[in-house]
Amino acid sequence: MSRALILDFGGVVTRTLFETHDLTEAALGLPPGTLTWRGPFAPETDPLWQRMQAGEISERDYWRTRASEVGQLVGQDWAEMSQFVRAARGADPDAVIRPEFRAAIAVAWASGVKLAILSNELDLFYGADFRNKLPFLRDFDVISDATYTGILKPDRRAYAACLDALGLPPSACVFVDDQRRNVEGALALGLPTVHFDVADPAASYTRALTMLGLTEEEPR
């Protein structure tokens, strides 16, 4: 039976905006050290992140607030995350792609494992033209983006639609996401998961590949 590696985009494929404050500050002409919110890297210092984790606000709400805050710093009225991301990362999006991601999908692809993206806001946050700057996305069999479907993880329908597009049962796949609520949603559907640790991406990808039986590169 075929297998599939299903990945969130966000912090699973790219280095998070929390990790790249220096690049953001340089791109926007802000003094070093201007951006101090750290999300999962220092949740005790980020009350807004704590509210999101508690389910009081959505992930989209969190990033709309951050986009607005940063926009004000540079004299812009940014109401949406995509405006922030395009300004911070649009010139060279390839620079923020995790090397651990590249290594993992190379192993999966060479082994004949299908590849899928299951995102709540890929084009909403990054802009539709962002994909054209990332050639590796052409190797993905399925890209399911709630920007268009309107069905957000952890709604079970989001996972089911991705599985239907892959033509595979949950047991043949491994889903990777850095948000616990999305991991729990996948588990409720019987989908094997890895709760991605943004502080240790290599370990998370190793675990996902191991769950797929890919302890070393296999011929396609």
Q: Are residues 68 and 152 in the same domain?
A: no
Residues 9 and 43 in one domain: no
- In the predicted model, what is the mean pLDDT of the chain? 92
pLDDT for 218 = 43
Are 128 and 200 contained in the same domain?
yes
Nearest Cα residue to 156 out of 142, 166, 138, 170: 170
pLDDT digits (tens, 9 = 90+) for 43-102: 999 999 999 999 899 888 999 999 999 999 999 999 888 889 889 886 677 888 999 999
Question: How many domains does the structure of the chain reveal?
Answer: 2
| Amino acid 216: pLDDT | 47
User: Among 35, 70, 93, which residue terminates a domain?
Assistant: 93
Same domain, 9 and 108: yes
**For residue 189, how many other CB atoms are within 10 A of its CB?**
16
pLDDT digits (tens, 9 = 90+) for 144-187: 999 999 999 999 999 999 999 999 999 999 999 999 999 999 99
Whether residue 76 contacts residue 180, with contact meaning beta carbons closer than 8 Å, is answered with no
Whether 31 is covered by a domain: the verdict is: yes
Q: Does pLDDT of 217 surpass 70?
A: no
Beta strands in 4-159 (DSSP E): 4-7, 114-119, 142-145
Domain region containing 77: 21-93
Full-model pTM: 0.87
> 100 and 189: one domain?
yes
In a domain, 220, yes or no: no
Residues 37 and 110 in one domain: no
In CATH, what number is assigned to the domain containing residue 140? 3.40.50.1000
Cα 93 → chain centroid: 14
* Residue range 4-19: mean pLDDT, rounded: 95
User: Looking at this protein, which amino acid is placed at residue 80?
Assistant: E
- Clarify whether residues 110 and 200 are in a common domain: yes
Residue where a domain terminates, one of 93, 121, 137:
93
- Say yes or no: 115 and 192 in one domain: yes
Assigned domain for 204 exists: yes
Note whether residue 203 is domain-resident. Answer: yes
Same domain? 82 vs 25: yes
For 195, the token pair is 């709760």
Given a contact cutoff of 8 angstroms between Cβ atoms, the answer to whether 178 and 8 are in contact is yes
User: Do 65 and 128 belong to one domain?
Assistant: no
What is the rounded distance in angstroms from the CA atom of residue 204 to the CA atom of residue 84? 28
Same domain, 103 and 59: no
> Which of these three, 29, 60, 93, is where a domain ends?
93
pLDDT number for residue 91: 65
Question: 177 — phi, psi (to 5°)?
Answer: -150, 150
Same-domain check for residues 134 and 34: no
Which pLDDT belongs to residue 127? 75
